[in-house]
Amino acid sequence: MTYHQHLKAFRNEKQIETDFREKMTYTDYLDLESILSSQYRLSDHHDEMLFIIIHQVSELWMKLIIHELEAATASIAEQQLAPAFKMLARVSKIQSQIIHGWDVLSTLTPAEYIKFRDSLGKASGFQSYQYRLIEFALGYKTTHALKIYEQEPEIYHLLSKAYSSPSLYDVSIQALARAGLAIDEEILNRDVREPYKENKSVEAAWLAVYNDVNTYWELYELAEKLVDLEDWFQQWRFRHMKTVERIIGSKAGTGGSSGVNYLKKVIDQYFFPELWSIRAKI
């Protein structure tokens, strides 16, 4: 469509609003002035803008992931599994978007990144409190993030609350027990602040679900949504690791982590171990 054709088509849309002197605009609703003025480069290097925006967009997506995971966890705890399925499916789609973000960041070369890396100081994605909130929501609990934010009360409170709350997998295991499947009391009454460890009774319960899909259809669907979520999460971690390796190689991270070596170690962490182990037994 040419410019004149586009202009003619626009003029033919008689109902399009053009007077916003007393009405809310798209820019107002999204607070775009605030969002688009939040990219503060600390160097004069062209590619620092890419680095900032990719990480800001990732944090926005993570905010939505947390929103969906919290709602899904509450829904399952309230014995309303069906609404949780839509939320968990959405999380998987969001994860795919973050993965594509790493693809964009990988256009940054080592020669370009080194020009502004020192400007980051000790700031690092390793310190992302939203990423830790996601890990907490999925059941991987550690205290190092709490220590980082001891001097920031609001963030510390968010992390502490998530750290002490049942994870998505905790409430899913409770759902297995409500369905009459035998779960060890030590699991049902465990300290949810501790990282989850694989349990034989949970494995047997999920195996029963897969072996009798008709009886346990909702639990079967829940299991597959959890597998989708973890599958995408591992792809997210892998793409992150390869992007970092491509840009800085084996150098330590700006925040003091071992960089790629640390990221390689966490790729094989499982949030829902029994849902993977049963696949060899079905």
Does 90 carry a binding-site annotation?
no
Non-local CB neighbours of 91 within 8 Å, separated by 6+ positions: 65, 68, 69, 72, 229, 232
Q: Is 85 assigned to a binding site?
A: no
- Give the integer Cα–Cα distance in Å for 197 and 188: 13
The answer on whether 240 is annotated among ligand-binding residues is: yes
Residues contacting residue 24 through CB under 8 Å, at least 6 positions apart: none
Cα 119 to Cα 45, 114, 259: the distances in Å are: 10, 10, 18
55: annotated binding-site residue? yes
Q: Check the annotation: does 35 bind a ligand.
A: no
Q: Is 76 annotated as a binding residue?
A: no
The answer to whether 53 is annotated as binding is: yes
Largest Cα span, the chain:
72
Extract the annotated binding site for substrate: 51-55, 113, 117, 254
Q: Which residues are annotated as a binding site for heme?
A: 240
Residues at the binding site are: 51-55, 113, 117, 240, 254
